[in-house]
C-alpha cells in the first residue's frame, strides 16, 4: 500500500524539475523561473497537476522546511540546542544572537520564496484555464494553501507578527517572478490578510482530507485557527479550531508514542506532514537531529516527570540524549536517516483551542477540557486550576511537553506570551532586546533591494 503512495512522490520530484531552471539566490534578484514561453507552461489540468506536484516537491527538496526551520526555532526556544557537530552558526540561534549573514537565514528565506514562486505559477496559470473540470479549483486551492503556509512561516521568522500595526511584514509575492525588480515589504496587517485570503479559498475549494501529504480543506482550516491565534483574533481562532476538532476527520492517536512510531503509516492525528523513505525522499532529518541539532538540557529536565518522557527522549549506549521523536524511523523494516515534519497535527489544535477560548471568551471550562484531553491521552495528571493566568501558563507549558523539539512552537509561544504581558521572556531565555524576537533579514536581500527593503530594527 505504501509503495503505491510513493509513485505519487516520484511525480513530485519529477514535477519540481520544471521549476528549477535557475538557482535562486534572493527574491529581489532572480531570473525568470521559466525559460520557455509562459503561455505553454500550463495549458490543461494534467500540466497544472504536474506543476502542483512540483510545488509540493519544494517542501521536501533540501532541508529548509523539514529540518532547518524547526531546528533553529526550537534552539531559539527551549527544547533544542546545537548537537555534537553543531558549531557557531547553530549556536547563534541557541544564544538568540543571529547575524544577517548567517548561512541558514539565506537558505531558508530563499527556499520559502522559491516555493511561493512555484505556487504563484500554479495559481495564476491554472486560474486562466477554460475548463469545467472541478479539479481546477482544487489545484488552485492546494497551491494557495502552500503559499499561505510559507508566508506564515516567513512572517513569524522575519516579520513583527505580534503587532498587526507594524509596517515590518514581509515581501508579498502574488505573481510569478519575471524580473529582478526589487519590491518593498508589506505591513503585518497586509501579510495576515493575504494569508487568510488564501486559506479561505483553500477551505472552500481544497479536496476533502484523504492523505496527510497533500493540502485539504481541514488542513486549511487548522492552519487558519493557528494564524488567527497569532493575529490575536482569539474568539475566531477558538471557533475555527473547534470546527476542526468536531469535524472528526482526524482524531488523537491512542497514545503519545503512536504519533512517532506510526510516522506516516495509517496515522490518525497528523493533518499535514511530509513523506520520506529510504530512496526518493531520504532527507537525513533523523541524522541531523542526532548530529547537528540535539535536545536541550531544559527540555530533558521538563520531560523527566512527564509520562511522555520515554517517547520523547532516548539515550545512546554512551549515555548521550537524543530526540526520540525522530530517532526510530523505519521503512519496510530498514532503519532510516530520514524522517517527517509534522506541519499540523490535531494535538496542537486542541491546545490552540484551549488558549484561544480562554483569551477570547474567558471560558475556563472549555479551556480546561481541551487541555486535559491532551494530558489524559498522555496519561498525565489533569489540570484542575480555575485561575485564568494559571491555566494560560499551563497551556504554554503543555505545548513544551507535547510539541517540544518538533517545530519550535514554544519559541513563538514565548514571544506571544511576552508581548501579551503574561511572562517576561528573559525568565526563560536571555534576550538582549525585543529586536531579537524576530530574525534579521538575510544581508543579501537588503543589499540588493535598492533601498526598498529595510533591515529589521536592532540589526
Spatial separation of the C-alpha atoms in residues 212 and 227, rounded to whole Å: 20
Calculate mean pLDDT across residues 90-113. 97
Spatial separation of the C-alpha atoms in residues 68 and 285, rounded to whole Å: 9
Question: What band does 454 get if pLDDT is binned at 50, 70 and 90?
Answer: very high
- Per-residue pLDDT at 178: 81
What are the tens digits of pLDDT across the range 332-378?
777 889 999 999 999 999 999 999 999 999 999 999 999 999 999 99
Calculate mean pLDDT across residues 428-449. 95
Model pTM score: 0.92
Name the residue among 345, 371, 349 with its Cα closest to residue 358.
Answer: 371
Name the residue among 69, 192, 183, 207 with its Cα closest to residue 117.
Answer: 183
Calculate mean pLDDT across residues 80-100. 97
CA atoms within 13 A on the CB side of 41: 26
Mean pLDDT of the chain: 91
Question: What band does 25 get if pLDDT is binned at 50, 70 and 90?
Answer: very low
* Phi, psi (deg, nearest 5) at residue 300: -60, -45
Report yes or no: 312 and 79 within 8 Å, Cβ to Cβ. Answer: no
- Per-residue pLDDT at 249: 97
Name the residue ranges covered by the structural domains of the chain: 2-208+371-432
- Per-residue pLDDT at 278: 76
- Per-residue pLDDT at 335: 80
Spatial separation of the C-alpha atoms in residues 313 and 257, rounded to whole Å: 11
Question: What band does 74 get if pLDDT is binned at 50, 70 and 90?
Answer: very high
Spatial separation of the C-alpha atoms in residues 229 and 225, rounded to whole Å: 6
- Per-residue pLDDT at 36: 29
Cα–Cα separations (whole angstroms), residue 241 to 184, 235, 347, 353: 33, 10, 11, 5
Has residue 302 got a pLDDT over 80? yes
Has residue 59 got a pLDDT over 90? yes
Has residue 24 got a pLDDT over 60? no
Calculate mean pLDDT across residues 137-159. 98
Has residue 35 got a pLDDT over 70? no
Has residue 152 got a pLDDT over 90? yes
| Count of CB atoms situated within 10 Å of the CB of 68 | 23
CATH number of 2-208+371-432: 1.25.40.390
Has residue 210 got a pLDDT over 90? yes
Say which residue, 294 or 21, is predicted with more confidence: 294
Say which residue, 30 or 229, is predicted with more confidence: 229
Has residue 39 got a pLDDT over 50? no
Q: Which three cell numbers stand for residue 225?
A: 485557527
Q: Which three cell numbers stand for residue 186?
A: 508589506
Q: Which three cell numbers stand for residue 212?
A: 496527510
Has residue 37 got a pLDDT over 50? no
- Per-residue pLDDT at 328: 77
Amino acid at each position: 500500500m505504501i509503495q503505491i503512495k510513493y509513485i505519487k512522490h516520484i511525480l513530485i520530484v519529477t514535477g519540481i524539475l520544471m521549476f528549477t531552471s535557475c538557482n535562486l539566490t534572493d527574491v529581489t534578484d532572480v531570473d525568470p523561473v521559466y525559460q520557455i514561453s509562459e503561455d505553454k507552461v500550463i495549458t490543461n489540468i494534467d500540466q497544472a497537476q504536474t506543476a502542483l506536484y512540483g510545488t509540493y516537491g519544494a517542501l521536501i527538496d533540501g532541508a529548509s522546511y523539514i529540518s532547518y526551520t524547526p531546528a533553529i526555532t526550537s534552539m531559539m526556544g527551549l527544547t533544542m540546542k546545537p548537537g555534537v557537530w553543531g558549531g557557531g552558526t547553530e549556536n547563534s540561534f541557541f544564544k538568540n544572537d543571529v547575524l544577517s549573514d548567517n548561512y541558514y537565514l539565506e537558505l531558508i528565506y530563499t527556499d520559502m520564496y522559491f516555493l511561493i514562486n512555484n505556487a504563484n505559477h500554479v495559481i495564476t496559470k491554472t486560474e486562466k484555464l477554460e475548463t469545467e473540470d472541478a479539479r481546477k479549483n482544487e489545484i488552485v486551492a492546494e497551491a494557495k494553501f502552500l503559499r499561505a503556509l510559507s508566508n506564515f512561516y516567513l512572517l513569524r521568522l522575519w516579520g513583527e507578527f505580534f503587532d498587526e500595526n507594524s509596517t515590518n511584514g514581509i515581501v508579498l509575492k502574488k505573481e510569478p517572478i519575471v524580473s529582478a525588480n526589487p519590491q518593498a515589504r508589506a505591513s503585518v496587517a497586509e501579510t495576515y490578510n493575504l494569508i487568510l485570503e488564501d486559506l479561505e479559498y483553500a477551505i472552500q475549494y481544497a479536496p476533502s482530507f484523504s492523505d496527510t501529504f497533500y493540502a485539504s480543506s481541514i488542513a486549511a482550516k487548522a492552519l487558519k485557527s493557528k494564524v488567527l491565534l497569532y493575529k490575536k483574533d482569539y474568539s475566531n481562532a477558538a471557533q475555527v479550531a473547534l470546527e476542526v476538532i468536531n469535524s472528526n476527520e482526524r482524531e488523537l492517536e491512542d497514545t503519545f508514542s503512536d504519533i512517532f512510531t506510526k510516522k506516516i503509516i495509517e496515522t490518525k492525528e497528523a493533518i499535514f506532514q511530509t513523506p520520506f523513505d529510504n530512496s526518493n525522499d531520504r532527507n537525513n532529518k533523523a541524522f541531523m537531529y542526532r548530529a547537528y541539532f540535539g535536545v536541550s538540557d531544559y527540555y530533558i529536565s521538563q520531560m523527566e516527570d512527564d509520562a511522555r518522557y520515554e517517547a520523547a527522549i532516548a539515550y545512546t549506549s554512551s549515555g548521550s540524549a537524543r530526540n526520540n521523536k525522530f530517532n526510530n524511523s523505519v521503512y519496510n523494516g530498514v532503519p532510516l536517516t530520514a524522517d517527517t515534519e509534522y506541519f499540523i497535527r490535531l494535538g496542537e489544535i486542541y491546545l490552540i483551542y484551549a488558549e484561544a477560548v480562554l483569551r477570547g471568551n474567558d471560558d475556563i471550562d472549555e479551556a480546561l477540557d481541551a487541555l486535559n484531553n491532551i494530558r489524559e491521552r498522555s496519561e498525565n495528571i489533569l489540570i484542575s486550576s480555575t485561575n485564568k493566568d494559571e491555566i494560560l501558563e499551563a497551556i504554554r507549558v503543555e505545548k513544551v511537553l507535547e510539541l517540544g523539539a518538533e517545530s519550535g512552537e514554544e519559541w513563538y509561544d514565548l514571544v506571544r506570551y511576552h508581548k501579551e504581558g503574561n511572562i517576561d521572556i528573559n525568565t526563560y531565555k536571555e534576550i538582549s532586546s525585543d529586536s531579537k524576537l524576530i530574525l534579521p533579514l538575510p544581508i543579501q536581500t537588503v543589499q540588493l533591494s535598492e533601498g526598498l527593503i529595510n533591515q529589521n530594527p536592532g540589526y
